[in-house]
Amino acid sequence: MSTLLILILVVIIFLAIVGMGWSNFLFSVYEGFNKIKNSPIIKNITEISKTEVDRLIN
C-alpha cells in the first residue's frame, strides 16, 4: 500500500515538473514553503515545541 502511494506521488511530482518546467516547479515549492513557514499556526507550534524541549532539558 505504501509503495503504491509513493509511486503515485513520484508520478505526480514528475508530471508537475514536466508541465511547469524545472525552475517554475522549484519556485512554486519555495513559495509554498514560505507560506507554510510564515503561518501563525506553525509559529505557535514551534514556540510550544521550544518551550517543551527547554522544560524537558532543564
- Domain, as residue range, for 26: 22-58
Mean residue pLDDT across the chain:
88
Domain annotation covers residue 37: yes
Domain annotation covers residue 35: yes
Query: What pLDDT score was predicted for residue 30?
Result: 92
**Angle between helix 22-37 and helix 2-20 axes, rounded to 10 deg:** 120
Question: Per the confidence metrics, is the pTM higher than 0.85?
Answer: no
Domain annotation covers residue 9: no
pLDDT tens string 30-54: 999 999 888 888 889 989 999 999 9
**What is the rounded CA–CA span in Å between residue 45 and residue 27?**
26
pLDDT band of residue 5 (cuts 50, 70, 90) is: very high
State how many domains the chain has. Answer: 1
Domain annotation covers residue 15: no
As a whole-number percent, the residues of the chain with pLDDT over 70 amount to: 100
